[in-house]
Amino acid sequence: MPLVTSKEMLLDAQKGNYAVGAFNVENMEMVMAVVEAAQEMQSPVILQTTPSTVKYAGLNLYYANVKAAAERASVPVALHLDHGDSFELAVQALREGYTSIMIDGSHLPLGGNTKLVRRVVEACHPCKVPVEAELGCVGGKEDDLVNHCAGLTEPEQAVEFVQQTGIDFLAVAIGTAHGVYKGTPRIRLDLLSEIKKRVFIPLVLHGTSGVEDDVVRSCIQEGICKVNYATDLRIAFSDGVKRILNEDKSVIDPKIYGKMGKELVKRYVQDKIWVCKSSGRGF
């Protein structure tokens, strides 16, 4: 089917007390793997690209890949700009055909974050494209994004932020971090519960790769409607490629090692769809 926006997906998830998995993709094989996994499990799905991924190949190439894969599927597929780092990039993605936009001004003072997000909302909403923003700061490193901050989302501040920006989804900072965890993350479920009591739009969890599945399930129970996965997909794809090349160093056909990378990504995505409880919701 044609690409859809993420808004109805997440509103349905909010009503049904499940989440939609949002998976960062880097190449054609990863796009195919994510959509095939969602199709087999009859789950809605969101594919995401970050600014550095876009810089590598261009918005138009990723849009074309995801659009083609979505049209082969019978489940809802959305294409999301993850951690958009400027108003200009957000608008470029909107014009290219992305059906969901995140603008990340979390590194700015609150006033600057609010102003930037509001500009993006004003650009996207007339096109009926939803906007996600982050309040607080999910630290760690993802692509060129490096956040050394550790500020958690304050519930009362979240209420004002949502009201002043008009965003559709709020990414919360409750103890997760981007990249590979060096220790066990301490996730503040109590804080998430307080945010849910005050903020009524769908909530988003970033930095989920490496977080135990039971913790993610608890976050969904407390109101998370979109769960982002990035680092572990890269690891899965790279492990597949390495497995083939280590077994037979004479292999020169990218389709051979790409197929194994694709298969491991697909297995990973299927597993996380179970965690998100979105299997069978893609009708």
Q: Which residues are annotated as a binding site?
A: 83, 104, 134, 178-179, 206-209, 228-231
- Beta carbons of 236 and 215 less than 8 angstroms apart: no
Determine the Cα angle at 70 with ends 209 and 34, to 5°.
Answer: 25
The Cα angle at residue 212 between residues 244 and 207, in degrees rounded to 5? 80
Name the binding residues for Zn(2+): 83, 104, 134, 178, 206
Q: What is the largest CA-CA distance in the chain?
A: 60
Find out whether 2 and 71 touch, Cβ atoms under 8 Å: yes
Tokens of 24: 């960062």
Which residues, 6+ apart, have CB-to-CB distance to 58 below 8 Å?
none
Question: 261 CB contacts (<8 Å, ≥6 apart)?
Answer: 29, 30, 236, 237, 238, 239, 240, 241
**Residue 266 and residue 248: Cα distance in Å, rounded?**
23
- Cβ within 8 Å of residue 253, ≥6 positions away: none
82 is catalytic: yes
* Binding-site residues from annotation for dihydroxyacetone phosphate: 179, 207-209, 228-231
Strand, coil or helix: what is 24? strand
DSSP string, 167-180: -SEEEE-SS-EES-
| SS3 of 142-164 | ECCEEECCCCCCCHHHHHHHHHH
Which of 82, 85, 143, 168 does the annotation list as catalytic? 82
CB 80 within 8 A of CB 67: no
Supply the residues annotated as catalytic. 82
